[in-house]
Amino acid sequence: MSAPATGGRVLIASNRGPLSFTAGAGGQLSARRGGGGLVSGLLSVAAERDVLWVCAALSDADRVAARRAPDGRLGLDGTPGGAGVRLLDIPPATFDAAYNKVANSVLWFVQHLLYSTPHEPQFGAAFQRDWDEFRRYNAAFAAALATAPGAGRAVVQDYHLSLVPRMLAELRPGIRIAHFTHTPWAPPDYFRILPDAVGREVLEGMLGADHAGFLSLRWADAFLDCCQEILGAAVDRTARQVRYRGHLTTVGVHPLGVDAAELTGRAAQPDVQERAAALAGATRGARLIVRVDRTELSKNIIRGLAAFRELLVTRPQWRGKVTHVAFAYPSRTDVPEYRAYTEDIQRLAAVINEEFGTPDWQPLMLEVFDDFARSLAAYVLADVLLVNPIRDGMNLVAKEAPILSRHGCAVVLSAEAGAADELGSEALLVNPYDISATAEALHAALVMPDAERVRRCQELARVSAAMPPRRWFDGQLAALEPPGEPDPVPAADPVPA
Ligand code: G6P
């Protein structure tokens, strides 16, 4: 049984951690911040608390850093032997199978409904071997968390670590465990694509936690449905609780938002200003439809480009007057489907520019080189933001751009993004599969009267800032308080209207 062990040090576990190392020619290591929204959100939390962050070495340079540091311990700034980070030196073959083959090629595909089912997936002996490695990788995290001194609470992040809560609860009875899912959750009929034993193991693994958090009520409800239908667990929908094999897991919704002050401060830096000037110069006064994504199949970039093409066909008045700025940054390039997807995007972009471009006007500016400052510059200048994922846990781009937009941007948003829960009333919602509807929504966004666009954008910005990472994290910790303590869900930040 879990003891009420709150206060004091908190353990965080995530695959990607706050440090990313590169090795110089002489073997010297330099550390920089790990990438991605999950890391930047958690970093602001880790900097202020007594935290030990357990994460995997992702590259060879990370592995060298883990071996050089005593027991893989580093400061948050990368100092060997510091407190704050424990970098796990997981064997490369185990890491590759767990991260690339299982987490990103199977679990990600299931939760985002990405399979073309006549052909894939095919679960044979190779998958069973990969699954064994996934178990080993989760066990390495559980062992590191179980032996970390002085902590009564662990907050475990995402689908990579879905087996950790049960493993950790067995190794260290009494520790309070939260698990947080940053992806959507598939409905039972789709979740059943996983081999039966694997699907059960994932659910049972997560139910080792005392609290399971999600970004949207839709995903939380789908998880409850899976627990009931697949495990036969006792689910109380009203209280959002699951009882399974004598253990109670509460299920909560924690809709992560943006730290508006931090983002605005970053956008005021000279590098962003320079890029905004360069982008304004390059697009020569055209209206801007902006999208910023990591190149993940779930982001639906191909249909987004097709919708822009259809806009130029059905609404030819926009030719020469609108530029689509599409940033599609590399992601998970070890997974073949991702590499092929980037090539498809580049090919389609070239076709559109070939078809409609003139000596004075480039319809589409596609950039695949990651530049955070340039992304912020595009948010500042956007007239329309296009966010059309097939499915997305939240999508923070939809929350960031309205906060930075200089003239108020209209947001065309997939109804399948978690962000649609909060932004749906002021964004223009689209079915992400419907290219024609997306093209029409882009047109509606472009012709929206200025005053309406500004008003909607202000409201979108206000809502987006309501749950900055610190508050989001505190909500998960509060949910680990023993029953009878004050209301665990903190109120949203007061945001100036
Ligand atoms: C996005 C997803 C998260 C995921 C993260 C990992 O932020 O929303 O669910 O944990 O990517 O990305 P990575 O680059 O580490 O594979």
Q: Tell me the residue ranges of DSSP E strands in 344-457.
A: 364-367, 384-387, 410-414, 428-430
Distance 446 CA to ligand 1 centre (A): 32
Q: Which two tokens stand for residue 273?
A: 């200003």
Give the residue, by CA position, lying nearest to ligand 1 atom 9.
182
232 backbone φψ class: left, alpha, beta (φ>0; ψ -120 to 50):
left
- Average pLDDT score over the chain: 93
Distance 450 CA to ligand 1 centre (A): 35
Q: What would the pLDDT profile of 222-241 be if each residue is shown by its tens digit?
A: 999 999 999 999 999 999 99
Buried b (16+ CB within 10 A) or exposed e, 240-256: bebebeebbbbbbbbbb
* Cα dihedral 388, 392, 397, 402 in deg (nearest 10): 70
Higher-pLDDT residue of 497 and 482 is: 482
Indicate the top mutation candidate among 16, 40, 111, 387 to test ligand 1's pocket, ranked by most ligand atoms within 8 A of CB: 16
Is the confidence at residue 431, as pLDDT, over 70?
yes
Q: How confident is the model at residue 414 (pLDDT cuts 50, 70, 90)?
A: very high
Atom of ligand 1 nearest to the CA of 183: 9
Indicate the top mutation candidate among 12, 38, 391 to test ligand 1's pocket, ranked by most ligand atoms within 8 A of CB: 38
Distance 182 CA to ligand 1 centre (A): 8
Q: How confident is the model at residue 492 (pLDDT cuts 50, 70, 90)?
A: low
Q: Which of 268, 227, 276 minimizes the C-alpha distance to 250?
A: 227
Residue 329 pLDDT: 92
pLDDT over 90 for what percent of the chain? 85
Residue 83 pLDDT: 87
Atom of ligand 1 nearest to the CA of 393: 8
> Could you tell me how far CA 349 lies from the centroid of its own chain?
25
Residue 38 pLDDT: 77
Distance 452 CA to ligand 1 centre (A): 34
Distance 337 CA to ligand 1 centre (A): 16
Ligand 1: residues with CB < 6 A are: 15-16, 36-38, 158, 182-183, 331-332, 393
Q: Which pTM does this prediction carry? A: 0.94
Q: Which of 383, 385, 373, 380 minimizes the C-alpha distance to 292?
A: 385
Is the confidence at residue 384, as pLDDT, over 90?
yes
Q: Which residues pair with 178 in a beta bridge?
A: 155, 211
Indicate the top mutation candidate among 160, 182, 370 to test ligand 1's pocket, ranked by most ligand atoms within 8 A of CB: 182
Q: What would the pLDDT profile of 172-191 be if each residue is shown by its tens digit?
A: 999 999 999 999 999 999 99
Backbone angles phi, psi at 211, to 5 degrees: -140, 135
Distance 346 CA to ligand 1 centre (A): 23
Residue 334 pLDDT: 87
Give the residue, by CA position, lying nearest to ligand 1 atom 4.
182
Give the residue, by CA position, lying nearest to ligand 1 atom 11.
36
Atom of ligand 1 nearest to the CA of 14: 10
Q: What would the pLDDT profile of 257-309 be if each residue is shown by its tens digit?
A: 999 999 999 999 999 999 999 999 999 999 999 999 999 999 999 999 999 99
Q: How confident is the model at residue 484 (pLDDT cuts 50, 70, 90)?
A: low
Distance 331 CA to ligand 1 centre (A): 9
Residue 35 pLDDT: 74
Q: Tell me the residue ranges of DSSP E strands in 36-142.
A: 51-56, 73-75, 84-88
Residue 496 pLDDT: 43
Distance 105 CA to ligand 1 centre (A): 13
Average pLDDT over every residue of 131-156: 95
Give the residue, by CA position, lying nearest to ligand 1 atom 16.
332
Average pLDDT over every residue of 335-347: 93
Backbone angles phi, psi at 183, to 5 degrees: -100, 175
The answer to whether 110 and 79 are in contact (CB under 8 A) is no
Average pLDDT over every residue of 42-65: 91
Distance 38 CA to ligand 1 centre (A): 7
